[in-house]
Amino acid sequence: MIFSEPIVNSFTWLNSFTVGLQSPLIATTTEAEYAPIVLTGVLLSLVVIYLASKIGGELSRMIDLPPVLGELIGGVVVGASALHLVVFPDSGAAGSDSIIMTILQFINNLTPDAVTSIFQTQSEVVSVLAELGVIILLFEIGLESDLKELQKVGYQATIVACVGVAVPFAAGTAGLILLFHAPVIPAIFAGAALTATSIGITSKVLSEIGQLKSREGQIIVGAAVIDDILGIIVLAVVASLAKTGEVDIFNVIYLIVSATVFLIGSILLGKYFNQSFVAIANKLQTRGNLIIPAFIFAFFMAFLGNAIHLEAILGAFAAGLVLDETDKRKELDEQVKPIADILVPIFFVTVGAKVDLGVLNPLVPGNREGLIIATFLMVVAIIGKVVTGWSIFGQAGINRLAVGVGMIPRGEVGLVFAGIGAASGTLNKPLQAAIVIMVILTTFVAPPLLRFAFKQSPEEKESLEEANVIG
């Protein structure tokens, strides 16, 4: 799993550090000396991250855009592209590049070697928090993905979702390999980043314009949910491919089958698990009687996903789908949100912070290819989803353009791909920046385009209503 190595390294350090505090015979002098400074660096980093998240989210909301977009841009501002407050060694930064490390060095009169050691450890701790954030994010998305609603929209939403995954994935991957001569694994990863659809962004806009319950709205939402499921499976496959560094067709088949069986099997077994989960939650009397068992289940499913060589996030997503069917779903939703509010912004801000937009500066000749790639990804991202509207058949008077446009925004799921690709080292800086730019732009353009697509003259509206009655 992509996250496993940094998480293991970080928790190994945390474990040894804790043991070191308890046993001076085991702890080195360096660990004991730097421990308070590492904690100071982590706390200061969290202050910056939360400020960037909140300011960015509020400004984004003020101009009627999704807060997650503001969190991403806030991360870009405080990260490697601008202020250099939150930077990471896996992005090529050194301790001397971090403003926070400069502050700590000034306060504590640190040597350059000490700064390097503290910077490495502090970055690992923040990365672990971000990785926990993405696991909780996928758990939350699973909780919000109503399987019963999927059954109502039926095969039309399934067709739209499959086309919306296959077309941009194939076009993006093939284009990067044939036109830009990108290596196969990074090209597959970038193509996979084009597959997802942000159900949160689309649902919000549909609700605002009163089209959430329309035929188009139901198909869009249903297809977006299926898109997320297919996207997570694709992510599990390409992330596992990235570990081996080669495309093994038998391994691909194994991963697809195992991911599908794992997800469907989890949902089917969930029907039997749900009653036991509710019974256990009802018997527990201490604080956290619902949320703690839920996270035990989510983290255990994440562990299983990792154990069978998939992604931990697939297990967390499956856990969310299972618990969505329990009688405690609404109560659980409310209890998960505050925890997600604490950890998920760390993930989005760090994704933005790791992006170096300087690689897209057109004044630097070497960057121009990255800009062309970003433009290519943007075109594929839009066209690859718009065509899904024309995959619908047997629906008289359906607004095909609205369905296609509703599938455009990538939002938080696209950022998950970018974050995992960057953490694994699969994506180079230009390709990572190009993906993030694609996510930002599709998220920007989708709401106004969706409003435009649903605009109809009274005559068009009347003819559509008549078609609905006849249909």
Which pLDDT score, from 0 to 100, does residue 153 have? 62
**In the structure, what pLDDT confidence band is assigned to residue 11 with cuts at 50, 70 and 90?**
very low
> What gap in Å lies between CA 17 and CA 120, rounded to an integer?
14
Residues contacting residue 61 through CB under 8 Å, at least 6 positions apart: 67, 70
**In the structure, what pLDDT confidence band is assigned to residue 49 with cuts at 50, 70 and 90?**
very high
> What gap in Å lies between CA 144 and CA 126, rounded to an integer?
27
Residue entry with tokens 């076009």: 171
pLDDT at 322 over 90: no
List pLDDT tens digits, range 249-288.
776 777 778 777 887 787 787 777 877 888 888 888 888 8
Residue entry with tokens 């990365």: 127
List pLDDT tens digits, range 354-404.
877 776 677 777 677 778 888 999 999 999 999 998 988 766 778 889 899
Q: State the burial class of residue 90 (Cβ atoms within 10 Å of its Cβ: 0-12, 13-18, 19+).
A: middle
Which pLDDT score, from 0 to 100, does residue 173 have? 93
Average pLDDT over the chain, rounded to an integer: 78
Residues contacting residue 93 through CB under 8 Å, at least 6 positions apart: 80, 84, 87
**In the structure, what pLDDT confidence band is assigned to residue 246 with cuts at 50, 70 and 90?**
low
Which pLDDT score, from 0 to 100, does residue 89 have? 84
pLDDT at 54 over 90: yes
> What gap in Å lies between CA 330 and CA 176, rounded to an integer?
43
CA atoms within 13 A on the CB side of 339: 20
CA atoms within 13 A on the CB side of 330: 1
Helix pair 67-78, 411-424: axis angle to 10 deg: 30
pLDDT at 351 over 90: no
List pLDDT tens digits, range 412-461.
667 677 777 777 778 887 888 788 788 878 877 877 888 788 875 333 44
Q: Which residue has better confidence, 273 or 53?
A: 53
> What gap in Å lies between CA 312 and CA 350, rounded to an integer?
19
Single-letter residue type at 190: A
Distances (CA, A) of 254 to 1, 2, 248, 257, 296: 15, 18, 10, 5, 27
Tokens of 168: 């941009």
**In the structure, what pLDDT confidence band is assigned to residue 31 with cuts at 50, 70 and 90?**
low
> What gap in Å lies between CA 382 and CA 406, rounded to an integer?
10
**In the structure, what pLDDT confidence band is assigned to residue 47 with cuts at 50, 70 and 90?**
very high
Q: Is residue 314 a contact partner of residue 298, using CB atoms and an 8 Å limit?
A: no
Q: What's the rounded mean pLDDT across residues 186-215?
A: 77
List pLDDT tens digits, range 161-180.
899 999 999 999 999 999 98
pLDDT at 12 over 50: no
Neighbours of 73 (CB within 10 A): 22
> What gap in Å lies between CA 437 and CA 429, rounded to an integer?
12
Tokens of 425: 């080292």
Which pLDDT score, from 0 to 100, does residue 44 have? 94
Tokens of 307: 């154990």
- DSSP string across 240-266: HHHHHTS--HHHHHHHHHHHHHHHHHH
Distances (CA, A) of 402 to 85, 203, 219, 469: 41, 13, 10, 20
Residues contacting residue 456 through CB under 8 Å, at least 6 positions apart: 464
Which pLDDT score, from 0 to 100, does residue 247 have? 60
List the one residue out of 187, 314, 208 whose CA is nearest residue 261: 314
List pLDDT tens digits, range 404-421.
998 988 766 676 777 777
Which pLDDT score, from 0 to 100, does residue 2 have? 40
Q: What's the rounded mean pLDDT across residues 232-247?
A: 71
Single-letter residue type at 1: M
List pLDDT tens digits, range 94-111.
888 889 989 988 888 888
Distance of CA 83 to the CA centre of its chain: 24
- Residue 328: what are its φ and ψ, rounded to 5°? -95, 10
Q: Is residue 309 a contact partner of residue 98, using CB atoms and an 8 Å limit?
A: no
pLDDT at 22 over 60: no
Q: What's the rounded mean pLDDT across residues 328-338?
A: 85
Q: Which residue has better confidence, 271 or 47?
A: 47
Q: Is residue 197 a contact partner of residue 219, using CB atoms and an 8 Å limit?
A: no
List pLDDT tens digits, range 122-156.
889 998 998 898 888 878 877 876 666 656 666 78
Which pLDDT score, from 0 to 100, does residue 20 have? 45
Percentage of the chain with pLDDT > 70?
81
CA atoms within 13 A on the CB side of 439: 35
Distance of CA 118 to the CA centre of its chain: 28
